[in-house]
Chain A
Amino acid sequence: MEDFIETFLNLDIARQASPILIQGFIQTLLLAAMTVPLGLGAGIVLAVLSTRRNPWLRYPLMAFVDFFRAIPPLVLLIFLYAGLPFAGLDLGAWGAVALGFLLNTGAYYAEILRAGIESVPRGQPEAARALGLRPWQVWVFVVLPQAVRNVLPDLISNTLEVVKLTSIASVVALPELLFQARQAQSVTYNATPIMVAALAYFLLLWPCVRLLSRLENKQIAGKR
């Protein structure tokens, strides 16, 4: 037991590693603050466009969304970070992460929002148009608020996944929480920094998991 505490919950090492772990945690928060709005924005644009009747728009968009849902995000990230420089396009770690998350999480948000938009009765936009609202007003004030409310648990769940996914940025040497924890672990040859990082992720995301669990239970109770 003492050995276990020595290697996994060593307070001395936790204290030594804390400055770079805090830096990493801030980078993780910045990453999340960048990737969630990017993905959500791309998702809204894709979802709204894919409701158009025009088959030249609709089917390519569906293919686009399915393609990026089928590719694991890490594969996409490695392709952008390590592959594209061969074509003379070097995005850097932040650029590759931003573009990768835009494509991957954009596709997931688009699929969720599309389901939400389809769940809004057709009479709603028709009535809004008949009352004289402009097309953009119909989307912003009538359709999207109802669509978002209908798929709120899925949206929160996906957002949780996106924040967790920022940890793959460590693979392209972006100094976020997991990357810094591994640096500290390899210097000290002690697993405490990784345990501290795991604890930080858990404390950051636990409220979100609890909220989600509540919402899902409510949704099921409502279906009965």
Chain B
Amino acid sequence: MTGWEKFAFSFLNPQVAADYTPKIIEGLGLTILLAACIIATGLVAGLVLATIRALGIRPLNWLIIFTVDVFRALPPLVIIVLIYFGLPNAGIDFSGFGATWLALSLVLMAFAEEIYWAGICAVPAGQWEASRALGLRFLPTLFRIVLPQAIRIAIPPLVNRTIAITKGTALGSVVAVAEILGAAQSAMAFSGNPTPLTLGAIAYIILFLPVVFAGRWIETKFAWKR
């Protein structure tokens, strides 16, 4: 066999590809489901924390800032391992899917809180003052005047951070989640051929390349106009 034939046999083997494409597609479905769960809980939890922080209760704010710092400083894989391999020692069992979901939701929550909070701080003080002067109470001012503007400011960095964290779903393969990478690795072990890894890489490209482009487009579309 020539070098190219050997390479093609290993990485672009049509027989292996035909056998394992359904498995990879199942993995793709699981990746999308996991990502959707993480985005839903992470973004909402982050918004809730940022809203509580805006109430300005000192001890509570210190607690929020510390929690956010913890989940910004810890590597996601360490959190996943701690939940999946550590908590069972205390009698709390998580499935691989559950552990990955919880860990990445906490990480996204922390980053999202920071971004929403930056957005809230970026809304000019005059908006608060004008709204209060017009007779709105604190909470209506926060929810109807400040947050809508803050969220608009927060969208571009939020999109980028969300993309980065949902790519972390691949870490689920470490705790036996059969998402794209997990499915590709077990298929590679069964077939003794790395073509499933090529398929997995293609699946990620199909999933994330449009998101990378969309992120760039949103960045220009929502750019802070001055």
Whether A and B are associated in the same complex: the answer reads yes
Contact of B78 among A71, A83, A87, A178 (CB under 8 A): A178
Classify chain A: how many residues form its interface, as a range: 35 or more
Contact of B81 among A67, A75, A88, A182 (CB under 8 A): A182
Contacts of B60 in A (CB 8 A): none
In the complex, the answer to whether B188 meets A164 with C-beta atoms within 8 Å is no
In the complex, the answer to whether B174 meets A171 with C-beta atoms within 8 Å is yes
In the complex, the answer to whether B77 meets A178 with C-beta atoms within 8 Å is yes
Contacts of A178 in B (CB 8 A): 75, 77-78, 81
Q: Which of B36-44, B45-53, B135-143, B202-210 is the interface stretch?
A: B202-210
Contact of A82 among B6, B72, B167, B197 (CB under 8 A): B197
In the complex, the answer to whether B70 meets A202 with C-beta atoms within 8 Å is yes
Compute how far the CA of A56 lies from the CA of B144 in the bound complex, rounded to whole angstroms.
Answer: 50
In the complex, the answer to whether B173 meets A74 with C-beta atoms within 8 Å is yes
- Most chain B CB within 10 A, of A83, A88, A185, is at A83
Chain A 153-192, CB within 8 Å of chain B: the 1/0 string?
0000000110011111011000000100110011001110
Question: For the complex, would chain B's binding face be called helix, strand, loop or mixed by DSSP majority?
Answer: helix
- Most chain A CB within 10 A, of B89, B174, B180, is at B89
Chain B 68-102, CB within 8 Å of chain A: the 1/0 string?
01101111111101100111011000000000000
In the complex, the answer to whether A72 meets B82 with C-beta atoms within 8 Å is no
Compute how far the CA of A170 lies from the CA of B173 in the bound complex, rounded to whole angstroms.
Answer: 13
Residue of A nearest to B65 (CB): A213
In the complex, the answer to whether A223 meets B224 with C-beta atoms within 8 Å is yes
For residue A34, give the distance in angstroms from its CB to the closest CB of chain B. 17
In the complex, the answer to whether A170 meets B77 with C-beta atoms within 8 Å is yes
* CB contact under 8 A between A74 and B6, given known A79-B197, A86-B194, A201-B75: no
Contacts of A75 in B (CB 8 A): 170, 180-181, 197, 200-201, 204
Residue of B nearest to A208 (CB): B73
- Most chain A CB within 10 A, of B78, B168, B208, is at B78
Does B21 count as interface, using CB distance less than 8 angstroms? no
In the complex, the answer to whether B86 meets A185 with C-beta atoms within 8 Å is yes
